[in-house]
Amino acid sequence: MSLNDTPRANRLHIGIFGRTNSGKSTLINALTEQDIAITSPVAGTTTDAVFKSMEIKGIGPCVFIDTAGFDDEGELGKLRIESTKKATQKTDIALFVISDYLAQNDLDWLKLLQNKKIPIIPVLNNKGKNDNVKNIEKDFKNITGLELVTVNAKDKRGLEELRTRLIAAIPEDYDSISITNNLCKEGDVVLLVMPQDISAPKGRLILPQVQTLRELLDKKCISISCTTDKMKEALNSLKKPPELIITDSQAFSEVFKLKPKESKLTSFSVLFANYKGDINEYMKGANAIESLNENSHVLIAECCTHVPVGEDIGTVKIPKLLRKKVGDSLKITNVRGNDFPKDLSEYDLIISCGGCMFNRKYILSRIDSAKNQNIPITNYGIVIAYLNGILENVSF
Ligand SMILES: Nc1nc2c(ncn2[C@@H]2O[C@H](COP(=O)(O)OP(=O)(O)OP(=O)(O)O)[C@@H](O)[C@H]2O)c(=O)[nH]1
Ligand SMILES: [Mg+2]
Q: Where are the alpha helices (DSSP H) in 13-170?
A: 24-32, 74-88, 104-115, 133-144, 159-169
User: Does residue 10 sit in helix, strand or coil?
Assistant: helix
Buried b (16+ CB within 10 A) or exposed e, 68-79: bbbbeeeeebee
Q: How far apart are the first and last CA of the chain?
A: 29
Which CATH number does 277-393 carry? 3.40.50.11410
Biggest alpha carbon–alpha carbon distance for the chain: 77
Q: Where in the chain is the domain with CATH 3.40.50.11420?
A: 181-271
Give me the tens of pLDDT residue by residue for the chain, a chain 396 residues long.
344 456 666 688 999 999 999 999 999 999 888 877 778 787 777 778 888 888 777 777 888 999 988 887 778 788 888 889 999 988 999 999 999 999 999 999 999 999 999 999 999 999 876 678 999 999 999 999 999 999 999 999 999 899 889 988 887 767 667 899 889 999 999 999 999 877 678 888 988 899 999 999 999 999 999 999 999 999 999 999 999 999 987 788 899 999 999 999 998 888 888 888 888 899 999 999 999 999 999 999 987 766 655 568 889 989 999 999 999 999 999 998 878 899 999 999 999 987 777 888 888 889 989 999 999 999 988 898 888 887 887 887
**Integer CA distances (angstroms), 174 to 10, 86, 177, 224, 377, in order:** 10, 21, 6, 29, 24
Decide if 118 contacts 94 (C-beta within 8 A): yes
Dihedral angle at the C-alpha atoms of 211, 12, 173, 86, nearest 10 degrees? -100
Find, among 222, 224, 212, 223, the residue nearest to 181 by Cα: 212
Q: Which CATH number fits domain 181-271: 3.10.450.40, 3.40.50.11420, 3.30.70.20, 3.40.640.10?
A: 3.40.50.11420
Nearest residue (by CA) to ligand 1, atom 12, is 21
d(CA 370, CA 374): 6
Helix axes 133-144, 104-115, angle to 10 degrees: 50
Q: Which atom of ligand 1 is nearest to the CA of 153?
A: 31
- Which among 16, 19, 25 is the best mutation to test ligand 1's pocket, defined by most ligand atoms within 8 Å of the CB? 25
Q: Which atom of ligand 1 is nearest to the CA of 66?
A: 20
Find, among 29, 112, 63, the residue nearest to 365 by Cα: 112
Q: Which atom of ligand 1 is nearest to the CA of 38?
A: 16
Whole-number pLDDT of residue 76: 78
pTM here is: 0.66
Surface-to-core class of residue 41, CB atoms within 10 Å of its CB (0-12 exposed, 13-18 middle, 19+ buried): exposed
pLDDT, tens digit (0-9, with 9 covering 90-100), for 218-241: 999 999 999 999 999 999 999 999
Nearest residue (by CA) to ligand 1, atom 1, is 127
Q: Where in the chain is the domain with CATH 3.40.50.11410?
A: 277-393
Helix axes 268-276, 279-287, angle to 10 degrees: 120
- Which among 16, 17, 21, 130 is the best mutation to test ligand 1's pocket, defined by most ligand atoms within 8 Å of the CB? 21
Between the CA of 43 and the centroid of ligand 1 the distance, in Å, is 9
Whole-number pLDDT of residue 387: 87
pLDDT, tens digit (0-9, with 9 covering 90-100), for 62-81: 889 999 888 877 787 888 88
8-169 is classed CATH 3.40.50.300:
yes
Dihedral angle at the C-alpha atoms of 263, 268, 269, 275, nearest 10 degrees? 100
User: Does residue 11 sit in helix, strand or coil?
Assistant: coil
Cα angle 378, 51, 29; round to 5: 150
Regarding beta strands 264-267 and 244-247, do their DSSP bridges make them parallel or antiparallel, or are they unpaired?
A: parallel
8-state DSSP, 315: I
d(CA 231, CA 254): 10
d(CA 318, CA 286): 13
Give, for 301, the enclosing helix (H) or strand (E).
Answer: strand 297-302
Find, among 360, 359, 298, the residue nearest to 323 by Cα: 298
Between the CA of 161 and the centroid of ligand 2 the distance, in Å, is 22
Q: Is 389 left (phi over 0), alpha (psi -120 to 50) or beta?
A: left
Whole-number pLDDT of residue 59: 76
Whole-number pLDDT of residue 237: 97
d(CA 220, CA 237): 20
String of DSSP letters for 110-140: HHHHHHTT--EEEEEE--S--S-HHHHHHHH
Q: Which atom of ligand 1 is nearest to the CA of 27?
A: 15
Within 10 angstroms of residue 113's Cβ, the number of other Cβ atoms is 17
Dihedral angle at the C-alpha atoms of 351, 354, 357, 360, nearest 10 degrees? 90
Buried b (16+ CB within 10 A) or exposed e, 279-313: bebbbebbebbeebeeebebbbbbbbeeeeeeebb
Q: Which residue ranges have their beta carbon within 6 Å of ligand 1?
A: 18, 20-26, 39-41, 43-46, 68-69, 125, 127-128, 152-154
User: Does residue 245 sit in helix, strand or coil?
Assistant: strand
